[in-house]
Structure formats: structure tokens, C-alpha cells
Structure 1
């Protein structure tokens, strides 16, 4: 299927995507996105995240890997040159992969937009020492193939991925090397980056919470912004009890200052609003206080601000988009089936093979 642009722009950090870190869990993730078709977007982009905060960026237009935080500038020219050369190679591999998949899905003559994505990385619990690794691919918004760290084999949820699974599973040495990267090398790089950016990555920032409503019949939006870290719970309560009916949950998105924002939308009748007490509760990991905004009665003056600025805010968010993520959100456990040399950077062990 062709990917529609209006359902296509989503930030990597909505990334509750596939893994949600706990307070003691830290993560290193990379997102590669290759696009074909008539679209005003680089053919290939790569984004690196530590604890869901962007620390590096590369695209096929600039052909240069660059740091996105002050603390990553500690790495010297050799590191960034190695990253750049590795990602230039990844771009070429992904160009081949996207054509291969178009052929497999009988889309070789399609003029629409098609997308191949890869998300890989590792997690480390600094309390228990437990580690986790992941490596998975998506095509046009659907899961395509994923690496199972326990079996050291690939899982193919799509029929078109079976040929890739058989090909990659036959290279047992590469799969073992890949497992070693995710369980050891990736964790070492994560710890190194955590040490570089500890003053930033270990901080907490309290959120600002507001309630918005366009008209009296529109859903009420609870918007939390400016918080850090990204691990947040935003919920509605009705008369002191958690309320999930007619609630739409938004994604956790990045602000351009390194903090995050998240919205949750509640639809209710005017009668329900008048006869019950609704409040929005925001809880940020690492901060003991709950942040609560009570929804006033509909008849109160200045009940909920009506702001066209919400639209402007979303445009600002899109302006700081670091990548397009079009995967359906699901847990790693829901991924159900129907090699390079070492360098001075963390490129080793995780290069993408041809599909």
C-alpha cells in the first residue's frame, strides 16, 4: 500500500513505539528511514537517541553525521567521519532494499511513496544490570522482519519476509555477531554516552499543564509540556477514579529545547461535565509530585482557553521532526511470525544487510 503523507509524519519520540523505558532503564536507539517516490524529504535519514533524546543525525542530502547535543561533541573528527562513511554505505543498502521490497509486494511500477524503516538498539537497567536488544524492520507502516535475541534467528510476520528470514538465518556467524553487539557493544556505547551526558540525561524538569478546548462541543485536551525525562503518564480522572472511556491518547513528542510534550483528549457530554468532577493528572518519572488540572464547570467564565495556538504548536513540532516513523505501534512481544568489521565508532555489528 502507498503511504499517505497525512498519516506519515510522526516523531521518533512518539516512540513509546516499541519499547518503554522504566525509571531505571536507559536506552540507545537508532532509526533508519529510506523513502522512494515523489516526496520532499531526503532519500535516507538516520537518527540516534539516548533515553529518547536525539544525539546524532544524518541524511542523504547533507551526507554528514552530526552531533545534536553539546555532550556528543566530545567525540572527535575520527568518530564522526566513521559514522558518516558507515551511513553513506547504509544509504546505498537501503536504496537496494526498498526496490527489492517494491518488487516483492508487486509495486515495482508504483509511483507512490514507499518507506523502509529499521529500528535497532539496546536497553540497560542500571539497578538490576539487565540488558535487552532489538533490531526490526518495517515496510509501508507494517512490521516486516525482526531479530529474536533469544533464538538468534529472525521472525518474519509477513509472507514476503520469509525469503529474507531464510537468507539471514543461514548466516549463523553474522547472527551471533549481531547478538554480541546488542548484548555487549551496544551496552558499552550506551554507558559511555550516558557518562558524557549525565548532567543532561539524569535531570528532571517539571511539566507545564494546560487544558484546551476549541468549542463547547469539542473534546477537551490536556496538554503537558516542558517535562523531562520522556517517561510520563497523562490520564483523566472522573470523580477521583481513573477514566478511560472516550479518551484518546496522544504521543510523547520532543520540544526543540530537549524537553517533551504529550496530550490526551477527553470527549464528554455537557451533562456529564456539569454533574461530575473531571481532572487531568500528569506524572513524570523521577518527580514525586503529581501535576493536576481540574476541569471547571462548562458555565464558568474562562473555563478552558480557546487557542488557535495549538495548531501553531503542532507546526513547530513538525518543524523539528527528525525522522518519519510510520510503524504501527505494538510491543516487541506482539511481533508474531506467519557483517561488518570493527571501527572506532559504534558502527560495528549492526550494519543492515541486503533484504
Structure 2
């Protein structure tokens, strides 16, 4: 049987135009290592964690700067109350499941739920999901096409029958996953995109020495979807090009590079350009000696770094002032048609 616990390993996958919003609840019961929370909850947007809650700290923590505005609203407080409520329900559910599975030993047991949705940028595609697991195995899931719960194991049949009899709740869930979840997904994408701290990727041309390959390096962008292309005299260059995979930065942003391996004479006698496309915007860097950052020119390198650091400092100061003004003057988190405080609060099994 497929291990359901795999669903809780969030790996950012590169699917062009597809976005996802997922929330995972995990309850653990038994003799655990010191400091292990009995209950935790994590929400991710496109594979990036945006909030976190556990029963030890008893509060939600925004994991992205642009989530701090949302964390100051009443909805955030209501989300915390929901997680506290779910924690107690899951503790009782594990006791019920131990009886159903005839488990009398005092081992460690887990009960999990993963729910959310994904949608396409322009295709109109959307899909909701709501799944439960016990001890890492599929237990029960919501079939949104049939609008009913399906038990994955015999012990889940009583729960499926009980929850399927709640027709009002089933109608609400269909509304949520067909419409409201997608609405929230798009709202969070907008909040992330409009945040004053999020800018276009920083693009640099790097070279160790005059005979080394030239690296086009993009960093500081959200979402791993970015396209780096080398152009030779305006035409796309495929030969002698090595494109790397997106890598995460410590601040939650990503970086990516593309390496061009041509002789100095070839790139000096032709016009080579690095083109970076991100969220519909295109940044170009022409391959010239003035644009290249290299460690074989110490004096010029130090001067470049000094100018860069001063420029970043000024931008951060201006950005901070602008960000504070924006927070004071506007409230981007206006009432929405549905929020998680109205979402299905888990019931007993």
C-alpha cells in the first residue's frame, strides 16, 4: 500500500503555470522525543512554507515577510483557534483508531490531514484535495467528483459513512474546493507579487578569469520558475550552454545560473546576451567586459562590491520606509468571501 506520509514532503516542482496551496496537520501520540510537538500545522504556497503552528509554541508564525500583514488580522487569530481545536480532536481520533486497528501496545501513532488546491494561470484548470492518513497509510479521502468520502481501509468505513451522512457539510466542502480555495490561492499569489520587498531577479555575469566560461546568474526571485536564455547576435544559442537547476536561498528566494562556454575571441566578435524571463518580465545583460564581475581584477572588483553594497543599503532603507507607509495607509487584506475560519473543522471519527 502506498505510504500516505509522502504527501507531507513538500518539494517545489517546476510545472509551468500551475500553483498550489496546501495545509498539512500532523498529530503524534505516544512516547516521543523531548520537545516533539503533539500537533503541528504547515501551510505552503507553491511548495514554500508560509506559516507554521505547533502545540508547544501555541501560536502561528508567518514564514514569509509578505505574510506579516495577514498575521495582524483577525483571520490569523481565528486560524490559531482552529488549530487548537483540531489538536484536541486529533488526540481523541488517535484513541478511536487504536481501538479500530486493535492496537494495544504503547507505541507512537500519527494522524494526518492534507488539504488544499491547485490551479493554472490561464488554462482555468483547478483541483482540490482532502486526504487523511493513520500511521503513514491512506485512511480516508474526499472524492470531489462524487462529493463523498472514500475509505482506503476497512477501518475507515464507519468514518466514511458518518461523514457522508452530513449532506450540509459535503455541499460546503464542494463549494470550498471548487471556488473558495482557488480564490485564496490567487489572493496569496497576488499578495506575494505585490509585496514591496519582492523585486525582479538580480542578474549578474560572472567569470573567474578571461579564459573561463561566463556564468549568467539570477538570484532573489520567488518561485523556482525562471527561464535563462543565451542569445548570439539576437538568436537563441543552444550549443556550449549548460543550464543549472533552481536552488533555494536562505531567505526563501531562489537562484539559478546558465553557463556559456565560448572562446574570448568568439564572444568579443559577436554580441552575446543573457536573457532572464520571470513572471512575464525580461531582463537582459549584454556580454561585455564592463558587465562581467570577475576576481581577476581585484581593484575593480572591490570597487564594484562597495558600490553594490551601498546601493543595496540605500534600496533597503527606501524600501523599508515605503513598506511601513504602505502598511499604515492601506489594508490589503480586505474581507474575502471565505476564509479558513469557515473551513471544515475536523470532526470525530
Q: Shorter-chain TM-score: what band? A: 0.5 to 0.7
When residues 71 and 354 of structure 1 are mapped into structure 2, their CA distance, relative to the original with a 3 A threshold, is: same
Partner of 2:97: 101
Matched, 1:86 2:86: no
Mapped to 2, the partners of 1:110 and 1:260 lie a distance apart of 45
Matched, 1:26 2:3: no
Whether contact under 8 Å (2:140, 2:156) holds in the other structure is yes
Partner of 2:149: 154
Which structure has the highest helix share of the two?
Answer: 2
SS at match of 1:164: helix
Partner of 1:138: 133
Whether contact under 8 Å (2:220, 2:254) holds in the other structure is yes
State the shift of 1:259 in Å: 4.7
Cα shift readout 1:124-172 (whole Å, capped 9, x = no counterpart)? 1111122110000111111111101100011111111111111111112
Partner of 1:171: 166
Matched, 1:115 2:110: yes
When residues 204 and 30 of structure 1 are mapped into structure 2, their CA distance, relative to the original with a 3 A threshold, is: farther
For residues 11-22 of structure 1, what are the structure 2 equivalents within 5 Å?
12-14=9-11, 22=15
Within the candidate set 325, 341, 351, 2:345 is matched to 351
SS at match of 1:39: coil
Partner of 2:238: none
Whether contact under 8 Å (2:7, 2:114) holds in the other structure is no
Within the candidate set 172, 180, 185, 2:175 is matched to 180
For residues 246-261 of structure 1, what are the structure 2 equivalents within 5 Å?
256-259=250-253
For residues 191-210 of structure 1, what are the structure 2 equivalents within 5 Å?
191-198=186-193
State the shift of 1:228 in Å: 6.0
SS at match of 1:45: strand
Matched, 1:36 2:33: no
Q: TM-score, normalised by structure 2?
A: 0.59
SS at match of 2:129: strand
State the shift of 1:257 in Å: 2.7
Whether contact under 8 Å (1:56, 1:67) holds in the other structure is yes
When residues 170 and 74 of structure 1 are mapped into structure 2, their CA distance, relative to the original with a 3 A threshold, is: same
Q: How many residues align?
A: 239
For residues 63-78 of structure 1, what are the structure 2 equivalents within 5 Å?
63-75=58-70, 76-78=72-74
Cα shift readout 1:294-322 (whole Å, capped 9, x = no counterpart)? xxxxxxxxxxxxxxxxxxxxxxxxxxxxx
Cα shift readout 1:4-36 (whole Å, capped 9, x = no counterpart)? xxxx8996314x7xxx67211111100000001
State the shift of 1:255 in Å: 6.2
SS at match of 2:21: strand
Partner of 1:50: 45
Mapped to 1, the partners of 2:178 and 2:202 lie a distance apart of 31
When residues 187 and 38 of structure 1 are mapped into structure 2, their CA distance, relative to the original with a 3 A threshold, is: same
Higher relative contact order (CA 8 A, sep 6+): 1
CA root-mean-square deviation: 3.9
Can you give the 5+ residue segments of structure 1 that lack an aligned partner in the other structure? Answer: 207-224, 233-251, 262-283, 289-341
Whether contact under 8 Å (2:139, 2:151) holds in the other structure is yes
When residues 344 and 229 of structure 1 are mapped into structure 2, their CA distance, relative to the original with a 3 A threshold, is: closer
Whether contact under 8 Å (1:34, 1:116) holds in the other structure is yes
Partner of 1:265: none
